[in-house]
Structures are given as structure tokens and as C-alpha cells.
């Protein structure tokens, strides 16, 4: 999920509550307080207000024209997922897998500075990584995803990993060393296809980097349950705290590790530091507000389940934790440390 989508959801909730709250308050003020709101009147008004954030976004997309697009930024269309960002003969490939309501562009793109910074581009420019191949994996996830669940997402990504692309580039699965860098639900998707297809990976060196991945769910999903049910959103429904499916996936992946079904699997887990602070909520960036650290989207308990103690990414929220602004950014350096410590870096630098 990207920041704009979450902010639209929160704005919709607020706009839905306004007419309902005013109606209840009016009844109470006049001495006729009761919970029996006339939904035939309030409902259409609340519904009309709820679509305003989404309508404004559609209008903005129609009229906004970027003046100087960066040459390394790919399209943000869902159909442009599962593409090679950097293809070469390296024995190592880094596979980026985005989270819910996101894509292979917006998930890893930092737009906070003077110039946009794309994490895969940082890796190609950082000589310490020895120029690995980079693949931008993805799956369909949008407000209208409906019955498309974790399994469907995992099948989509796994199929792309084994497919020769239209330019004749060999599949990702032909590389002997694969590092999966996963944000949020992308980590659940990766764990699913790893345990479901472990025979394919058992001879390979696998690195699994889980960044703010809600392995046990996120309580925010529970709070948004009315909207999730309204849209019949299977992916978001799965992300509810302690959901049956998440517990099943958790048991399956723990068994995979316990039985050493992928002998060369190495992993690391990270979690965020702050609550989101974007757009109209940027006031929460003020460090004296305790709300920032008391409430996060993915907690340490949910993010750290499989590979020892999880690691905090300082001064980040759920979205900025995968949007480094330079090669000195914590998450970028931690990725390098993980690959270096586990001998997952390319054997030698490769040229494109």
C-alpha cells in the first residue's frame, strides 16, 4: 500500500463519520438521542462524501503533467510489474517484491528530496554490490482486487520468475543466487511461493529480506474491516491480526525452516520506527508527538518471526522504510551488510 492510497482511505472514513456523527449529535442535542440513525438519508450523503478523495485523485492524474521525469523510473501501471530493471550475466539477482495496493515503481521510489531516488537504481550505482541483476517482481493488487488472495499473488510472481521475457532474457530462476527484497505483504507472498515450491529452490542460495512484513497481521487492517468487507478485499482481509490464513502460512514457513528444505536459505527481518506522517498528517513528523512511536502499522512482534531478532530501521514509517534517499541510508546499508555477511554478493562485478 502506498501513502496516497492509505490517506484516501483514512479521509474516506472521516468523511463517512461526519454526517453520521452530526446526525447523532443533533438528536442528542434536541433531547432525542438514540442510535437509530435514518440511513436512507445519511447513507447517500456519506457515500457521496466518501468518494471525494478518490475522485480528486482521478482528476489530479488527468491534469497533472510531470515536467522532468527521471530516466530510471518505470511505469506505475500494474501490467508493468515483473520486468527486468537490470539484466546481466551476474550469478546473483535481487528480486524486489512490493506490498499491498502498491507496484514496482511507487513502492521503492523516494520523492521526498529535490530529485526522485529509486532504490534499485541506488544498488546499481553502489559499487559495493558488484552490479547484480535486478528484477522488479509484482502482482495485481488494487482496491478492486476482490477475491485475488495471497495464493493468487504468489502464483503470479512465481510464474514470472520462471518465464523468459519478450526480449529473450533468461528467467530469474536460472540464477544460482537469488535475494528477495520484500515490503509488507510482499514478504508473505514470497514466503508462500518459497514453501510451496521449495524443490525449485533447494539447490540455490536464497536470501530473504522481509521489511515491515506483517507475518502475524496488522491491527490497522482490523480497524479498517468495514471498508475491507465493503470492497470484499481478500488480500486486506488476510492481513487482519492473527487471521487464520496468516497463522497457516506461519506454520508452513516455520516447518520449511525447521526441516531445512532450502538448505542455503538465509534471512533477515526489519520493522519500522514511526507511524506514517505524509500529506495532511505530516504534523506527526514532529518528534515531540508520542503518537509517532506508540503506534505503527507493522509492529516488531509481527515483523520478526523467523530469523532471530528483527532489526529496527531508524526514523522510518511503514512506507519510507523501503525508500532510501542515498547509499548511506540505513535500509540500504543493512541490505549490503546482510548480503556481505552471508556471502550473497555477486562473485565478481558484471557489466550490463
Tell me the C-alpha to C-alpha distance, in Å, between residue 83 and each of 96, 126, 168, 193, 273.
10, 21, 12, 18, 31
Indicate the pLDDT class of residue 267, thresholds 50, 70 and 90. Answer: very high
What integer best gives the mean pLDDT of the chain?
84
* Assigned fold of 78-341: Rossmann fold (3.40.50)
* Domain segments of the chain as ranges: 3-63, 78-341
Quick one: cell of 186? 510482499
3-state DSSP call for residue 295? coil
Indicate the pLDDT class of residue 206, thresholds 50, 70 and 90. Answer: very high
User: Do the Cβ atoms of 31 and 45 come closer than 8 Å?
Assistant: no
Instruction: Give residue-wise pLDDT tens across range 295-324.
Output: 799 999 999 999 999 999 999 999 999 999
Q: Cα-flanking dihedrals φ and ψ of residue 179, to 5°?
A: -115, 120
Region 24-38 average pLDDT: 48
Region 33-47 average pLDDT: 52
Instruction: Give residue-wise pLDDT tens across range 117-147.
Output: 999 999 999 999 999 999 999 999 999 999 9
Q: Cα-flanking dihedrals φ and ψ of residue 345, to 5°?
A: -75, 155
Q: How many CB atoms are located within 10 Å of the residue 243 CB?
A: 17
Please give the span between the terminal C-alpha atoms of the chain, in angstroms, as a whole number. 32
Q: What is the predicted pLDDT for the residue at 92?
A: 98
Quick one: how far is CA 16 from the chain centroid?
26
Region 244-255 average pLDDT: 98
User: Do the Cβ atoms of 192 and 180 come closer than 8 Å?
Assistant: no
pLDDT at 30 over 50: no
Amino acid at each position: 500500500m502506498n501513502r496516497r492510497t492509505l490517506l484516501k482511505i483514512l479521509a474516506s472514513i472521516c468523511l463517512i463519520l461526519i454526517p453520521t456523527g452530526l446526525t447523532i449529535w443533533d438528536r442528542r442535542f434536541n433531547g432525542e438521542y438514540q442510535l437509530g440513525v435514518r440511513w436512507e438519508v445519511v447513507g447517500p450523503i456519506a457515500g457521496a462524501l466518501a468518494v471525494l478523495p478518490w475522485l480528486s485523485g482521478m482528476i489530479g492524474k488527468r491534469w497533472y503533467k510531470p515536467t522532468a521525469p527521471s530516466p530510471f523510473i518505470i511505469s506505475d501501471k500494474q501490467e508493468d510489474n515483473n520486468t527486468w530493471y537490470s539484466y546481466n550475466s551476474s550469478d546473483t539477482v535481487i528480486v524486489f517484491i512490493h506490498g499491498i495496493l502498491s507496484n514496482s515503481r511507487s513502492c521503492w521510489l523516494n520523492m521526498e528530496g529535490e530529485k526522485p531516488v529509486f532504490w534499485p537504481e541506488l544498488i546499481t550505482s553502489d559499487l559495493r554490490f558488484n552490479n547484480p541483476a535486478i528484477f522488479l517482481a509484482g502482482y495485481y493488487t488494487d482496491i478492486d482486487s476482490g477475491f485475488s488472495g495471497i495464493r493468487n499473488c504468489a502464483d503470479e510472481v512465481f510464474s514470472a520468475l520462471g518465464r523468459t521475457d519478450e526480449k529473450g532474457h533468461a528467467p530469474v530462476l536460472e540464477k544460482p543466487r537469488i535475494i528477495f527484497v520484500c515490503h509488507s505483504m510482499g514478504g508473505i507472498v514470497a514466503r508462500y511461493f518459497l514453501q510451496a515450491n521449495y524443490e525449485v529452490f533447494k539447490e540455490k542460495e536464497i536470501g530473504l529480506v522481509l521489511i515491515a512484513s506483517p507475518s502475524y497481521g496488522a491491527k490497522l487492517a482490523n480497524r479498517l474491516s468495514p471498508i475491507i468487507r465493503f470492497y470484499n478485499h481478500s488480500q486486506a482481509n488476510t492481513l487482519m491480526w492473527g487471521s487464520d490464513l496468516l497463522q497457516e502460512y506461519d506454520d508452513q514457513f516455520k516447518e520449511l525452516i525447521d526441516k531445512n528444505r532450502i538448505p542455503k536459505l538465509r534471512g533477515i527481518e526489519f520493522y519500522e520506527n514511526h507511524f506514517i506522517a505524509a500529506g495532511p498528517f505530516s504534523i506527526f513528523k514532529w518528534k515531540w508527538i508520542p503518537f509517532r512511536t506508540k503506534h505503527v502499522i507493522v509492529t516488531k512482534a509481527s515483523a520478526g518471526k523467523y530469523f532471530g531478532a528483527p532489526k529496527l530501521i531508524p526514523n522510518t514509517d511503514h512506507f519510507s522504510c523501503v525508500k532510501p534517499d542515498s547509499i548511506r541510508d540505513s535500509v540500504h546499508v543493512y541490505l549490503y551488510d546482510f548480503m556481505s555477511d552471508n556471502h550473497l554478493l555477486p562473485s565478481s562485478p558484471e557489466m550490463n
